[in-house]
Amino acid sequence: MEEKVTLSVIKADVGGLCGHTLAPEELLDAAEYVLENALDETLIDYYVTNCGDDIDMIMTHKKGTDNEEVHKLAWTALEEATEVAKELKLYGAGQDLLSNSFSGNVKGLGPGCAEMEFVERPSEPVVVFCCDKTDPAAFNLPFYKMFADPFSTAGLVYDPSMTSGFRYEILDVFAHKRVFLDAPEELYSLLALIGNTEKYAVKRVYRRKDNEIAAVCSSEKLNMIAGEYVGKDDPVAIVRAQSGFPAVGEVLEGFANPHLVAGWMRGCHFGPIMPVAEEDAMPARFDGPARVMALGFQLSHGRLVGPNDLFADKSFDKAREKALDMAEMMRSMGPFMPHRLPESMMEYTSVPKVLAQLKDRFIDMEETCECKIDELRERGDME
């Protein structure tokens, strides 16, 4: 039996240089030092980068998904980076580390995690997506386009290895349940769910003909873990490409037409997600636009060959221009919907604290009749 390799992407915000804009080199160096010392013993290879104020650790190994040793290593790297962030007095130092101690794996402790295990093909191209200032449902639409939309992925029509379709694993992030739906047969049911980006998020996609893993996204929502607003979720995702999966160009096409995502300032707004080069992954305007970068690797016996900075391509300039135009329109709405998220999506933000201050000032409609005017004036609820 052929040996499998595991690709793990673990990320967290442990401090930003000047607000929520950038994880500086000092933090990346601290994390990289920990991973470097684990080569050969735990890891085969690694690549450390950042998207905005998030540290993204891309690691390969042969220990499988949810492995305690690998997750402990990532946790230690983030702790070391946090110590540097505190020394530099960076903003939000350690904000995504929701526990003082490690307990088995990073899930539920704050960091985001996307992992997949598979046997390497003769050529194994993978695309790692890293985001900032948005949440996991930002991948709902791109994953639909990649694996279910023949107008985006022509291989669904032309490539016999893909015509049997793909299976989606969808999470109900509030009920903590999951459902599997097949495309194309259950396409309308699939869209009915993943079109609701408040409640549902695509976790994994499998090739139906052999149940081979095709894509995975981190699904951890920090507000659901901590019970209050502690930062944006900033998802990461892994997508396998070519030879039975969408071609690299089809994988990227899901971001060629910017779509609106939740996130931005305080995680309280809708705005476009903008595909950017690695060096441009630094949201600034109103904590946005939300950014996504795409790093292409070839796996060779677990070694990460690359990356190829795929969104650096000039062909995505139009997408960036469109995202900026969309941002102008949405920002003009200020605190009004649809720029502002609905109250149901801000349950764990700071908004409930504002509403709590006004709670006793809400008046039943019948109290506003003429006979109550004097009483209301005495209570100070009317001028």
Q: Which residue has the tokens 């070391």?
A: 80
The answer on whether 280 is annotated among ligand-binding residues is no
Nearest to 108, CA basis, from 219, 234, 197:
219
The answer on whether 221 is annotated among ligand-binding residues is no
b/e map 34-58, b = 16+ CB within 10 Å: bbeebeeebbbbbbbbbbbbbbbbb
Give yes or no: residues 113 and 5 share one domain: yes
Domain assignment present for 381 = no
Cβ neighbors of 243 (< 8 A, separation 6 or more) are 121, 123, 161
Report the pLDDT value the prediction gives residue 39, as an integer from 0 to 100. Answer: 97
pLDDT-derived band at 280, boundaries 50, 70, 90: very high
For residues 324 and 326, give the distance between their C-alpha atoms in angstroms, rounded to a whole number.
5
Give yes or no: residues 130 and 110 share one domain: no
- Whether residue 350 contacts residue 229, with contact meaning beta carbons closer than 8 Å, is answered with yes
More confident residue, 32 or 1: 32
Q: How many CA atoms lie within 13 A of 246 on its CB side?
A: 30
Report phi then psi at 75, rounded to 5.
-60, -45
pLDDT tens per residue, range 325-343: 999 999 999 989 989 888 7
Among candidate residues 103, 118, 133, the one where a domain is terminated: 118
Question: CA torsion, points 312, 318, 323, 325, in degrees to nearest 10?
Answer: 140
Model pTM score? 0.91
Which residue is catalytic, options 46, 47, 168, 229?
A: 229
Question: CA torsion, points 77, 83, 84, 86, in degrees to nearest 10?
Answer: 140
pLDDT of 219 > 90? The answer is: no
Domain assignment present for 126 = yes
3-state secondary structure of 205: strand
pLDDT of 57 > 70? The answer is: yes
Among candidate residues 72, 94, 118, the one where a domain is terminated: 118
Give yes or no: residues 244 and 344 share one domain: yes
The answer on whether 56 is annotated among ligand-binding residues is no
pLDDT tens per residue, range 63-92: 999 999 999 999 999 999 999 999 999 998
The answer on whether 13 is annotated among ligand-binding residues is yes
Share above pLDDT 90 across residues of the chain, in percent, rounded to a whole number: 73
pLDDT of 349 > 70? The answer is: no
Tell me the two tokens of residue 2.
């052929």
200: number of Cβ within 10 Å: 22
Domain assignment present for 272 = yes
Give yes or no: residues 108 and 124 share one domain: no
Give yes or no: residues 266 and 340 share one domain: yes
Domain with residue 26: its CATH number is 3.30.70.120
Domain assignment present for 23 = yes
Give yes or no: residues 354 and 230 share one domain: yes
pLDDT tens per residue, range 111-152: 899 999 999 999 999 999 999 999 889 999 999 999 999 999
Domain assignment present for 20 = yes
Tell me the two tokens of residue 156.
């669904």
Give yes or no: residues 46 and 124 share one domain: no
Give yes or no: residues 57 and 144 share one domain: no
Give yes or no: residues 105 and 129 share one domain: no
Number of domains in the chain: 2
Give yes or no: residues 302 and 359 share one domain: yes
pLDDT of 26 > 60? The answer is: yes
The answer on whether 357 is annotated among ligand-binding residues is no
The answer on whether 189 is annotated among ligand-binding residues is no
290-300 and 269-275 beta bridge pairing: parallel
Domain of residue 109, residue span:
1-118
**What one-letter code names the amino acid at 189?**
S
Cβ neighbors of 82 (< 8 A, separation 6 or more) are 14, 15, 93, 94, 97
Q: Which residue has the tokens 């139009």?
A: 318
Report the pLDDT value the prediction gives residue 369, as an integer from 0 to 100. Answer: 61
How many helical (H) and strand (E) elements, i.e. helices and strands, does the chain have? Answer: 10, 14
Domain assignment present for 379 = no
The mean pLDDT of the chain is: 90
Report the pLDDT value the prediction gives residue 231, as an integer from 0 to 100. Answer: 47
Give yes or no: residues 95 and 124 share one domain: no
3-state secondary structure of 200: strand
Among candidate residues 98, 118, 138, the one where a domain is terminated: 118
pLDDT tens per residue, range 149-208: 999 999 999 999 999 999 999 999 888 899 999 999 999 999 999 999 988 999 999 999
> Picking from 48-62, 65-79, 186-200, 349-363, which range would have the lowest pLDDT averaged per residue?
349-363
Give yes or no: residues 83 and 142 share one domain: no
Which residue is catalytic, options 11, 13, 47, 56?
A: 13
Domain assignment present for 373 = no
Share above pLDDT 70 across residues of the chain, in percent, rounded to a whole number: 88
pLDDT-derived band at 232, boundaries 50, 70, 90: low
Report phi then psi at 148, rounded to 5.
-140, -10
Give the rounded distance of the alpha carbon of 370 from its chain centre. Answer: 53
For residues 341 and 225, give the distance between their C-alpha atoms in angstroms, rounded to a whole number.
20
Which residue is catalytic, options 11, 203, 221, 232?
A: 232
The answer on whether 152 is annotated among ligand-binding residues is no
The answer on whether 188 is annotated among ligand-binding residues is no
The answer on whether 242 is annotated among ligand-binding residues is yes
Report the pLDDT value the prediction gives residue 370, as an integer from 0 to 100. Answer: 57
Domain assignment present for 192 = yes
The answer on whether 159 is annotated among ligand-binding residues is no
For residues 280 and 294, give the distance between their C-alpha atoms in angstroms, rounded to a whole number.
12
Report the pLDDT value the prediction gives residue 347, as an integer from 0 to 100. Answer: 54
Signed CA dihedral, 116, 35, 54, 257: sign only: negative
pLDDT of 97 > 50? The answer is: yes
The answer on whether 301 is annotated among ligand-binding residues is no
Report the pLDDT value the prediction gives residue 5, as an integer from 0 to 100. Answer: 98
The answer on whether 364 is annotated among ligand-binding residues is no
Report the pLDDT value the prediction gives residue 361, as an integer from 0 to 100. Answer: 83
- Is residue 229 part of the annotated active site? The answer reads yes
Q: Summarize the confidence of residues 233-257 as an average pLDDT.
A: 96
